[in-house]
Structure 1
């Protein structure tokens, strides 16, 4: 794994996203500011939505944004990584690269974008909503987001390998991620769901495990328990190890099919 190369690819991917636009990477600041402002205005000022039992007018907006921003990075990482084997086949077939790590710049680039968005949300959260978020909580949050991105990258690599052999996977995955989004309490409150769906969240929905921790931080100001961070790190590491093994096991077939 060539770390300087990965760093260069990450920064290049981040710059390429805004290449050709007048404002360039400034859009990385403008886009989240506008999105967060729209959600705050719509749900706080216009609809007056708030969580049950909360006197905070911004509670539902915080609930929504704290789940939505990480999800956007998560799903973008999965979808982009899953198509990267085919998108970069001209490089893979000509240069001997480590297929397990070659595309991790996608996850890191999305992580960089997510940090910008989360930082803006945190500033709004502190200075405009008059809420508190300590330095230790923010570091706790960054650790969780990094673990999430490792998990997302691993899923993307596994689907990316399958996509080499079955080209319908890209379309299937797009639909699957949309279903996963609506099955996860990102825009709806868990308590309104039927019991079977609530049971599904805690037992079978891995993204919900991350989601709970983000909301503990932003809604209640609670740091994640060490056991939960270790559990999420272990789970993500196992999926990552599985993705590396999957690539190594099928590497020859992958290169032949490309």
Structure 2
């Protein structure tokens, strides 16, 4: 893990610059708009409000027995918001090195600074919204001590996006098709997770397929905490640890093998 450790040390030394670049990226996304950075929060808030209005108010749809909650809209919001955060962080991190190619060719900056900046910018937007769900779902978790698991899940999700986003950024620099492949996988990945339906509704013999989606662990954890006021079960933590370990190993290999060619690829 020497390559990953070296990059992590370089990022720590450049942490002040990383934060400055993160703030600039967030501001640049909405430059020239009347609401400015408020758009970053308005769009996901309107999306989850639409889920509640359509599924819980208009159609009053309900899930069957065994689901963590009966209201469909309330169920969708808890899974959809972290999924949106995951997709946003991963896609922005994946293309960050390609977009920063000119800067890296002229400046001796740590390449991993740019995927990290993208993931941090996404976290600044979505982390407060996820924490806001604590108040929105107070009637279901009753401020259980299990809420202490929520910040842990958020930090681990940020780490997941950082590791896999950086790995995909290196792969995208070497092979531009990576962007198209991952984009397609994210578009269908939501159907192979408990975001749209409880895991109990998936065929028993094929339920293991859900765990091939990294967000299954996190979505299950958020649902347990916010909808049931319960600590995430041990398979959630085990699956999260496996995905983090695999991401770290993959990134370490990619960093080691691309050390001399990365800038040329850009």
Query: What's the TM-score once normalised by structure 2's chain length?
Result: 0.84
What's 1:256 paired with? 264
What's 1:149 paired with? 158
What's 2:7 paired with? none
What's 1:223 paired with? 231
How many residue pairs were aligned? Answer: 254
Q: Is the 8 A contact 2:96 2:169 kept in 1?
A: yes
What's 2:213 paired with? 205
Which residue of 47, 55, 71 maps to 1:43? 55
Shift of 1:70: 0.6
Counterparts in 2 of 1:72 and 1:53: CA distance versus 1, 3 Å: same
Which residue of 8, 22, 47 maps to 2:20? 8
Q: Is the 8 A contact 1:100 1:247 kept in 2?
A: no
In structure 1, stretches of 5+ residues that fail to align are none
Shift of 1:20: 1.4
Q: Is the 8 A contact 1:49 1:60 kept in 2?
A: yes
Counterparts in 2 of 1:68 and 1:236: CA distance versus 1, 3 Å: same
Counterparts in 2 of 1:194 and 1:56: CA distance versus 1, 3 Å: closer
Counterparts in 2 of 1:173 and 1:29: CA distance versus 1, 3 Å: closer
Query: What's the TM-score once normalised by structure 1's chain length?
Result: 0.86
Q: Does 1:115 find its partner at 2:121? A: no
| Structure 1 vs Structure 2 CA RMSD | 2.6
Shift of 1:225: 5.6
In structure 2, stretches of 5+ residues that fail to align are 1-10
Higher deviation after alignment, 87-96 or 4-13 = 4-13
Shift of 1:215: 0.6
